[in-house]
Chain A
Amino acid sequence: MWIAGRAIPLEITDVNVGLLLILGITSMGVYGVALAGWSSNNKYSLLGGLRASAQMVSYEISLGLSLVGVLIMTGSFSLRQIVEAQGGHFWGFIPRWNVFHGQFIGFFVYLMAAYAETNRIPFDLPEAETELVAGYHTEYSAMKFAMFFMAEYANMITVACLATLLFFGGWNGPLFGPRILQDVLPIFWFVAKVFVFLFIYIWVRGTLPRFRYDQLMAFGWKFLLPLAIVNLIATAVAVAW
């Protein structure tokens, strides 16, 4: 964005291990769930908390591996460089987003792993109201419960932002109009894409039933992880060729 002739990038900072930082912070989120379930001194909460944290830890692997495909194609952990590599078009109208540029499977692995990470339907057995009383947040009410849910929604927003940055071109989008509009339009495109992902989250929540826990773990380890590895190998081979 240009103000008074100087380019001001609209980000706090561009760390060159940006993606790893985000992965690190999401992996710290497991503690909240595990400790909440255990400290409630309630067997339902303990079981719900352990299930939730085991689920989150299992799907973190597939999440990370699906992101490595994007990293191989871009060659950098820095989020700004990943988005900049997605500028431009194929054949004039298909945008050069990573999802069209070969990471289609990677995108779906990421989406499913992210739904499991954020404990949302169809993977929300540990916290559903009808299962185990209410799982790890049974004993919490009022503001503490609100904190749990604010954390869950913040997690959803983070996941949606990552999905747009890594797979859907981030803030790239058609720019038109006068200079001042062109400066503001990337913000609009980014927010619109994040909004689409949040819409899909809520849409899926209203549509699908939830997985049983053994189905959930089998899906994560026996289907999603091999698929993520195959995606990684295929991407690596394609880039090396």
Chain B
Amino acid sequence: MISVHLILFLAFGAVCVAGAINLLAQTHPINSALSLIVVMAALAGEYLLLGAEFVAAVQVIVYAGAIMVLFVFVIMLLNAGEEERTKGSRVAVLFGVPGMLIGSVLVAWVVLRHSDAGSVAAGALPGDPTRFGDLLFHDFLLPFEITSVLILIAIMGAVVLASKPQIVQKRKEH
């Protein structure tokens, strides 16, 4: 059944997969990072198709707009160069590529065989911010608070790691 929904899903999915493949195929890390940004944006499009507009916007703001900026900063500051080609092992390619293909086909077959979850129509689940906030602050309050504490620990760790080393003062004997 060809609907606009399906076409858009396939379009965003194709962009996502193309970005992911490009990420692996590029030799310079900055090109890989930019491909990852494309993947994040395509995922935000997929969330929109599911009707989760808040999650889509937050995906762009947080993932594509902050976390990937961090990645790009690190690549710039470390002056990471292009990948060097090493002499790869022929055996790995000979067994690895067909092995990966067979593995992924098996996983897909098992998943499709046993998926009785059905599909979700767009808008079936709450996606608007009001309902989302309701769920987050009433039903899922404990995970929310624990996640906040986790982020606080990460911030404190970053501040400690980035601070100047303390110079131990010698006590003067009077």
Contacts and interface: CB of A to CB of B under 8 A. Distances in A.
Interface of A: 15-17, 20-21, 23-25, 27-28, 30-31, 34-35, 38, 46, 49-50, 53-54, 57, 60, 75-77
B128 interface: yes
Contact of B76 (A23, A46, A76): A46
B64 interface: yes
Contacts of A20: 54, 57-58, 61, 129
Contacts of B65: 24, 27-28, 30
Interface in B132-153: none
B88 to A, nearest CB: 30
Interface stretch (B2-10, B13-21, B66-74, B91-99): B66-74
A27 B37 contact: no
14 contacts: A15-B53, A17-B129, A20-B54, A23-B61, A28-B64, A28-B65, A30-B69, A31-B69, A34-B76, A35-B30, A38-B30, A46-B76, A49-B76, A54-B73
Interface of B: 30, 37, 53-54, 56-58, 60-61, 64-66, 69, 72-73, 76-77, 128-130
Given A27-B65, A31-B72, A17 B77 contact: no
Contacts of A31: 37, 69, 72
Nearest to A29: B65
B137 to A, nearest CB: 12
Nearest to A15: B53
A53 B70 CA distance: 10
B57 A50 contact: no
B76 A38 contact: yes
A46 B76 CA distance: 8
B69 A16 contact: no
Contacts of B76: 34, 38, 46, 49-50
A27 B72 contact: no
Contacts of B77: 50
A25 to B, nearest CB: 8
B13 to A, nearest CB: 21
A53 B72 CA distance: 11
B61 A77 contact: no
A38 B31 CA distance: 13
B127 to A, nearest CB: 9
Contacts of A27: 60-61, 64-66
B72 A34 contact: yes
A50 B73 contact: yes
B61 A24 contact: yes
Nearest to B61: A24
B119 to A, nearest CB: 24
Nearest to A28: B65
A53 B37 CA distance: 17
Given A16-B53, A17-B129, A77-B129, A24 B60 contact: yes
A72 to B, nearest CB: 11
Contacts of A24: 57, 60-61, 64-65
